[in-house]
């Protein structure tokens, strides 16, 4: 472990902070997102604004009075070294490479958005899995039409393949952290009003496969629902339906039909920001009823006018588990399609049968440089149930008497935005296994070193 920490010290030695150029100060792009299609580049309709930055000429190309072509791309290289991983066999280090260019053609109210992906992995023990590599394929390809109803309401009708991010991605996310993001095939209706937004959808998740241009919709899983946001008051309400022909939990496998209802309350006031969420699930699994739930709370305080601009975040999660075969219902929570690196760069366990506390202290030495230290603890909610990974796969059921403590984790990360487009980051994470992991035969520290460079425009 000392070798790991020494390696990190060399990898994350703080670089000299770059000073903003005059062009940087004059031209500020919108915040880039993982889905890319919801970024607002309309300021580049002004030729003088486009001329202020080197990407302007090909980022936004007017094609007539009411037509435009917007382009963009991400190129990312990420190296990860795993020590005693839970689910990938022996020590393993590998390189992830991906490129995701996109083209967004808008003609009046009609739009066509296409984003191919090229994703490869080098050195993965046992061969790359579906989140490691997919070759050359189509990540997103959809068309939509934007209809205006009255003075303040807009309706968007969309069909095709797209990434979706709902709320904090606790249940529906893009899986952006791993090498192959997650997309969905189907249709969506998005309605926006003054201070509110709602979306309804029916989709199937896209399954990544080896080879080129062969990713397909899942034939066994489907997702549908409605997600509403009161943006003025910071209140979300949602319903999600889920079907899986091949579900598997510690008690066995079978068909799963699950309904989810939830609410989220979030906001910012002064130096404080917060997020709280409560979720209930019901339905059937293998002919038995489902009763599951999850609650989460998060609070952040920032000191922007203090040297190094520190911030402190505290989080807690309670996520239901199963009481075993003696129960007449399934108690396991299903996080459906959550964000990929759920609890940080190292996320060996996932949001099922879990209690978790999480503290993050961050510093901002410059506007372009961020560092953070996170401390985490994990416990099983029910001792009769097992330990699961982020996608919901069962890692194992610890031997009887193992206890509920899964482990404690520390993670240090740093990120330097060298230019508006180029970012370098590094992380080191270590988990000390608790009695539950030792009951599965994992007696050594679990660790991860990650080094990443990303170019996005």
pLDDT at position 29, please?
A: 85
| C-alpha atoms less than 13 angstroms from C-alpha of 133 in its C-beta half-sphere | 17
Is the per-residue pLDDT at 25 higher than 90?
no
Per cent of the chain over pLDDT 90 is: 84
Question: Exposed, middle or buried by CB within 10 Å (0-12, 13-18, 19+), for 282?
Answer: middle
Mean pLDDT of the chain: 92
Phi/psi of residue 305, nearest 5 degrees: -100, 5
Beta strands in 330-421 (DSSP E): 354-366, 369-379, 387-388, 394-396, 405-417
Domains of the chain listed by start with CATH number: 2-456 (2.40.160.100)
Question: Exposed, middle or buried by CB within 10 Å (0-12, 13-18, 19+), for 81?
Answer: middle
Encode pLDDT of 40-80 as tens digits: 999 999 999 999 889 999 999 999 889 999 999 999 999 99
Is the per-residue pLDDT at 412 higher than 70?
yes
pLDDT at position 89, please?
A: 61
Report residue 145 as tokens.
């039409």
* Helix, strand, coil content of the chain in percent (nearest 5): 5, 55, 40
Is the per-residue pLDDT at 365 higher than 80?
yes
Q: Which of 359, 289, 378 is nearest to 387 (CA)?
A: 378
Residue 87 binned pLDDT confidence (cut-offs 50, 70, 90): low
Residue 13 binned pLDDT confidence (cut-offs 50, 70, 90): very low
Encode pLDDT of 144-156 as tens digits: 999 998 889 999 9
For residues 254-269, average pLDDT: 97
Give the number of residues written for the chain. Answer: 457
Is the per-residue pLDDT at 5 higher than 50?
no
- pTM across the whole model: 0.90
Contacts of 382 (CB under 8 A, 6+ apart): 320, 321, 322, 323, 324, 331, 353
Is the per-residue pLDDT at 6 higher than 50?
no
């Amino acid at each position: 472990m000392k070798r790991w920490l020494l390696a990190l010290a060399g990898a994350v030695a703080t670089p000299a902070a770059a000073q903003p150029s005059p062009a940087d100060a004059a031209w500020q792009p919108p915040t880039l997102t993982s889905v890319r299609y919801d970024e607002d580049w309309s300021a580049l309709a002004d030729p003088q604004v486009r001329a202020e930055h080197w990407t302007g000429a090909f980022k936004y190309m007017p094609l007539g009075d009411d037509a435009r072509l917007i382009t963009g791309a991400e190129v990312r290289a990420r190296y990860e070294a795993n020590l005693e991983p839970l689910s990938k066999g022996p020590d393993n280090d590998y390189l992830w490479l991906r490129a995701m260019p996109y083209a967004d053609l808008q003609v009046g109210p009609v739009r066509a958005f296409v984003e191919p992906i090229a994703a490869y992995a080098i050195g993965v023990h046992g061969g790359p899995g579906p989140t490691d590599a997919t070759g050359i394929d189509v990540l997103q390809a959809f068309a939509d039409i934007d209809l205006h109803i009255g003075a303040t309401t807009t309706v968007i009708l969309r069909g095709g393949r797209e990434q979706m991010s709902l709320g904090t991605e606790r249940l529906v996310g893009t899986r952006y952290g791993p090498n192959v993001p997650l997309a969905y095939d189907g249709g969506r209706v998005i309605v926006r009003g003054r201070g509110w937004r709602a979306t309804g959808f029916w989709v199937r998740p896209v399954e990544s496969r080896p080879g080129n241009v062969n990713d397909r919709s899942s034939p066994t899983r489907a997702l549908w629902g409605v997600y509403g946001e009161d943006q003025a008051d910071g209140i979300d309400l949602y319903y999600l339906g889920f079907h899986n022909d091949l579900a598997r939990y510690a008690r066995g496998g079978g068909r799963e039909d699950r309904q989810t209802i939830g609410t989220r309350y979030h906001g910012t006031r002064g130096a404080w920001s917060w997020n709280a969420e409560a979720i209930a699930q019901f339905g059937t699994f293998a002919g038995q009823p489902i009763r599951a739930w999850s609650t989460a709370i998060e609070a952040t305080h920032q000191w922007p006018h203090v040297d190094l601009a520190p911030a402190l975040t505290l989080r807690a999660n309670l996520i239901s588990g199963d009481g075993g075969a003696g129960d007449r219902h399934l108690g396991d929570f299903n996080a459906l399609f959550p964000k990929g690196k759920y609890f940080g760069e190292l996320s060996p366990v996932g949001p099922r049968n879990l209690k978790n506390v999480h503290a993050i202290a961050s510093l901002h030495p410059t506007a372009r440089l961020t560092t953070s230290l996170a401390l985490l603890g994990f416990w099983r909610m029910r001792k009769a149930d097992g330990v699961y990974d982020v996608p919901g796969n069962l890692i194992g059921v610890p031997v009887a008497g193992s206890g509920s403590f899964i482990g404690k984790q520390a993670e240090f990360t740093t990120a330097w935005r060298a230019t508006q487009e180029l970012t370098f980051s590094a992380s080191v994470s270590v988990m000390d296994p608790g009695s539950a992991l030792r009951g599965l035969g994992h007696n050594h520290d679990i660790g991860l070193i990650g080094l990443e460079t990303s170019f996005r425009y």
